[in-house]
Structure 1
Amino acid sequence: MSVEGKSEKPVELDDVLHKFSVTQKYYVGFGILLSIAFATNSFTCTHFVFAADYVQYKCHNSIGQCNKNSPANVTFEHQFDQQCYARVPLDEAATCLEVNQSKLVPCNDWVYENPDSFVGEFQLACQEWKRTLVGTMHSFGYMLGLLIVGPISDRIGRKKALIMTGVLGGVLGLARSFATNYWLYIVLEMAEAAIGDICSPAFMLGIEIVSARDRAKFFMVTQLGYPIGGLSLVLFAWLFPYFRTFLRVIYAPSLLFILYAYLIDESPRWLLTKGRKDEAVKILENAAKTNNIVLEKSLLENLTCEKEDKTAEIGYVALLKSTFASRVLLQRFLICVVWWSTCTFVSYGLAINSVLWGGNKYMNYAFMTMIDIPASFVMGFVLIKFKRKKPLIVAFSCAGLFLLMQPFLPLDMTWLSIVFFLVGKFMTSIFFNITYVFTSELFPTYTRNSMHALCSSLGRIGSILAPQTPLLMTYWVGLPSILFGSASLIAAIVTLFVPDTADDSLPDTVHQAEFVGIKMDEKKKTMKS
């Protein structure tokens, strides 16, 4: 099939990308490879929920005292009679003491429900803070890593950054599975989160490889890798309960990302901003050949991309300064930080508080993950039908209202409380995904990944604060939900001050970014003034 495309005028990249469709062979294969990358990222983001799982433990001496006349086949849960701790409240402090000559003294000999667990092998009895520190350090490492991976992706390219982070993440994850020292494990946990985040460059590659028309569709399909990865994580955790084997199973496949050097292409948009037009044209020609399309030479010869003067010679800090020098982009940056802080705070907060359901941990996690599947399809539909701004405002507002109302529901209607919780989680998945896309469309190509990473990194303060929200329940059980709902409504309000970017090509420079989402008549008036 032949595609006509004569033009003597400069041709924008989106004009060429419009010749393709995401249902064609090239994009189907590309989408599958990106989905695999997102699935592995889903493994690494929350693996510690199962790897550093809580296990029961009791003082060895107390077992003997409590069970002098107990049957030999007594279970672990029944071995520890409550009367052993009658002198003190039955909490962690009581568990950490033993009865010695009618006195309570610190215990130094422990028996674990599962000796081969993370808590058992590293002897973390009565040091619950060390177990929870794993997740905290992962979030902290991820926050720092975004400031590293983003600039690297803008400097060396999306493809190289994807391969580098994928392979390094696999190496560090496997190394952690052999750690014999707790603090070495923690250091490797933070390092892997910092330089093994494949999501950022993979996301940018997926956004820049398609036209504005197909951006929402392609993002919706590739993001299905996250729930698929989450369900696979549950399966692996169930099949391989020993935490070292579990880590090796989920991290070993990441070493295969070295093959992506031959399986995926670089972002043509990034290549054009770096003045590497020949390479960009070659990628477009190969894509056309794969899809049985013939692009006219004149179309590719006139391909252009406005770029900043001497960007290759300017340092990273100077590039960011030139972006922040624009009051318009600075305002958008601050709004994006509010978005990301809300997304991470509410999303992680709801996930953490969901464990209060009780029951089977694997089923609970799988159920929460499955909500993301219909949310991805709904998100894709609304982005195509209603653009960006209105869906984001509605998602933030609905989540806020449902979460604010939840604490005031009748106590005897537990099912209704769960429904409100799930609706809130559903809306959270939608506004988190929209935030990913919206943020990338507000900033220029030459600092897009850096700005996206910076917004996400600063927003990770929400994921750091979220684990502390269950402590607020001691004052009032509904306080965490009130905070989640209030944060969502604030995010909805600030969204009113950004333009809708759905119909515009991705901006390549600060000048283009300032006018993205603004109607042509308004652009002309602004430029004249």
Structure 2
Amino acid sequence: MTSEEIPKRVHLDDVLSKFGMFGAYHAQFMVLVGLAYASNTAYSSNYVFAVEEVGYRCKDERFASDMCGKINGTSCPEFVYDKNDSFVAEFQLACYDWKRTLVGTVHSLAYMIGLLFVGPLSDRVGRKAMIVATGVIGGVLGIARSFVTSYWLYIVLEFLESAFGDICSPAYILNVEIVATTKRVPYYMLCGIGYCVGGVVKAFIAWMVPDWRNFLRALYAPALLFILYIFVIDESPRWLLIKGKKDDAVAIIDRMSKKNKVKVDQRMLDNLVCEIDEDENVEFGKVLKSTFTSTALFKRFIVCVIWWTTSTFVNYGMTITSVSLEGNKYVNYALVMLAELPGAFIAMYVLMRYRRKFPLITCFLLAGVFCVGQPFLPTNMAWLSILMFMIGKLMATLYFTITYMYTSELFPTYTRNSMHALCSSLGRVGSIVAPQTPLLTQYWEGFPSFVFGVSSLIAGMVTFLVPDISNDALPDTVKEAEAIGTKNKDTNPKENVQKRKKDNHSITNKSFDWKE
């Protein structure tokens, strides 16, 4: 390569593009970040087993017909539980089912609040530092919960662990920053297999260790090993460049090249730069104003919030209620988690090959049909009930994945990240409400599944209100975003072409590249 072929300013993507996804360095990282994702799934809904529903009755036979009521102004003096070493029995939660489901609601609420702190801290102190910190904090607080003797102290620790002990956010950022832009989506998808593994392992541990205290200890103890990530993973080269630590970034790239046996021209590293887009630091107020003053974008925002709320509500809700299906609850939970694996691959294939709108509507409607129909199946056909439930969960996984991508494509570059984060944050209301859905079984056993189905059907209907999009170039301005789905898509073709040529962007979405 001649000196003329080496640009004076080399972007990090130009360097990272020389590395494949399956070299030794990135393969090792895939396993390590996959373990982080596995811990996220294992901890995110641990309450399904730790605070499981347990049968109970009043010891006084006079309360047999109304054990949670009063007779002559007197309540049941003592309850007998089907499982004496359970969380419900130990904290005397008979007739207080809301206290049991409150654990899950607090966990989801704390996670939403924690994102407001963990994200900025990750930008400030680094992705690696936050991965280690959140991983270890989560393990410590999780184990601490296994020793509490007060229900409300348990709630406090559940909140703190979810808010400050979730490794997923910094792990995801490092995950997508460690590879070239063209490989982000497929590489994340492969690392994301860890989510499925974590759910299956959690079900297995719960089966083998039924005591809730020992279950928490067995589940969270491995998280203490995240302290070793100080030595086994590297910081994000992108973050280091942004912070002006070019030498450290180059040293990491050198390790990549040696481990992957890929030679990188030293002159490229010498000319390595990081350009920060001023639009990335837009004030939040301006982001809202530029979006909400546009009727088209405001309508998309409302639809996206409905997508996210439905996605989090149905996916978390179906995972939680899977333990109440006919058959072995541990096996059912593991099967539901396994359903997410093909769902992720199918979603990626759909995103690579087809447009967005029709597949998303199809997934919403199919999930709605299967979830609504599942409660009406004959009670003696448990296998069919589980099959329909799993198909519904598969469809829910599909539309959650498509929603994640579709949301980012409907807004202009200027507000894309902020609007995506806002939709995601507001949509977490669904995951906050989801733990309460088991309470609906008091009125009808099939009520939760029916509600999941209706929610999916509504979300599918509102999807008709947004324009379709494929792998076209992402809109950069509000006018370009408004033009999506209209006949006149190029508001200023000459200006757009010149801009894209200047930025070296293709007119197609380059997020999917499996080539080595």
1:211 to 159, 172, 180: 180
Displacement after TM superposition at 1:382 (Å): 3.4
Conserved 8 A contact 1:379-1:433:
yes
| Residue equivalent to 2:347 | 379
Which residue is equivalent to 1:484? 455
- Whichever residue aligns with residue 392 of structure 2, its letter is G
Q: CA deviation at 1:6?
A: 3.5
Which consecutive residues of structure 1, in runs of 5 or more, have no partner in the other structure?
63-83, 89-93
Aligned partners of 1:211, 1:520: CA distance in 2, in Å? 29
Query: How far does residue 37 in structure 1 lie from its aligned partner after superposition?
Result: 0.2
TM-score after normalising by structure 2: 0.81
Cα pair 1:220 1:376 within 8 Å, conserved: yes
Q: CA deviation at 1:437?
A: 5.5
Pair 256,521 (structure 1): closer, same or farther in 2 beyond 3 Å: farther
Rounded to whole Å, the distance in 2 between the matches of 1:485 and 1:134 is 25
Cα distance, 1:408 vs. partner?
6.1
Tell me which of 460, 467, 474 is aligned to 2:428: 460
Aligned-pair Cα RMSD in Å: 3.9
Q: For residues 132 and 3 of structure 1, what CA distance do their matches in structure 2 show?
A: 66
| Residue 372 of structure 2 is aligned to residue 400 of structure 1 | no
Following the alignment from structure 1 to structure 2, what is the Cα–Cα distance between the partners of residues 254 and 448? 34
Determine the C-alpha separation between the residues in 2 that align with 1:133 and 1:37.
26
The whole-number CA distance in structure 2 between the counterparts of 1:446 and 1:279 is: 30
- Counterpart CA distance in 1 for 2:132 and 2:225 is 9
Alignment-mate amino acid for residue 121 of structure 1: E
Q: 1:153 to 1:212 in 2, by over 3 A?
A: same
Residue by residue over 1:262-319, the C-alpha shift from the partner in whole angstroms, topping out at 9 and shown as x without a partner, is 21122222233333333222222211111111111222222233214699xx8xxx75
Instruction: Give deviations 1:238-280, integer Å, cap 9, x for gaps.
Output: 1111111111111111111111122112222223333333322
Segment drifting more, 283-292 vs 487-496 = 487-496
1:362 maps to 2:319? no
Q: Report the secondary structure of 1:173's partner residue.
A: helix
Shift in alpha-carbon separation, 1:407–1:339, aligned structure 2, 3 A:
closer
Inter-CA distance 381–500: structure 2 relative to 1 (3 Å threshold): closer
Paired AA for residue 329 in structure 2:
K
Deviation at 1:33, TM superposition (A): 0.3
Counterpart-to-counterpart distance in 2, 1:472 and 1:124: 18
SS of structure 1 residue aligned to 2:272: coil
Q: Distance in 1 between matches of 2:77 and 2:494?
A: 76
| Aligned equivalents of 1:3, 1:248: Cα separation in 2 | 59
Structure 2 CA distance for partners of 1:283 and 1:461, relative to 1, 3 Å: same
Q: What is the match of residue 81 of structure 1?
A: none
SS in 2 for 1:234: helix
Q: Indicate which of 231, 243, 256 corresponds to 1:274.
A: 243
Q: In the aligned structure 2, how far is the partner of 1:449 from the partner of 1:164?
A: 25
Matches within 5 A, 1:315-334: 319-321=283-285, 323-324=287-288, 326-327=290-291
Separation in structure 2 between the aligned mates of residue 395 and residue 29 of structure 1, nearest angstrom: 34
Distance (Å, rounded) in 2 between the aligned partners of 1:57 and 1:520: 66
Amino acid at match of 2:495: K
Tell me the CA shift for residue 185 of structure 1. 0.4
After superposition, the C-alpha distances for 1:155-201 in whole angstroms (9 at most, x for unaligned) are 22222221111111111111111111110000110111111111111
- The number of residue pairs the alignment matches comes to 483
Identify which range, 371-380 or 239-248, moves more after superposition: 371-380
Q: Does 1:140 align with 2:105?
A: no
In structure 1, the partner of 2:509 is none
CA gap 1:375/1:152 in 2 versus in 1, 3 angstroms:
same
Whole-Å Cα distance in 2 between the matches of residues 398 and 451 of structure 1? 23
Scaled by the length of structure 1, what TM-score is found?
0.79
* Distance in 2 of aligned mates of 1:143 and 1:320: 18
Change (3 A) 1:214 1:136: same
Higher-Rg member (1/2): 1
- For the residues of structure 1 that align with 2:218 and 2:414, how far apart are their CA atoms? 37
CA drift at 1:418 = 5.2
Aligned to 1:48: 47
Question: Which letter does structure 2 place at the counterpart of 1:114?
Answer: K
- Structure 2 residue 467 is matched with structure 1 residue 496: yes
Which letter does structure 1 place at the counterpart of 2:32?
A: L
Indicate which of 57, 62, 67 corresponds to 1:95. Answer: 67
Q: 1:231 to 1:439 in 2, by over 3 A?
A: same
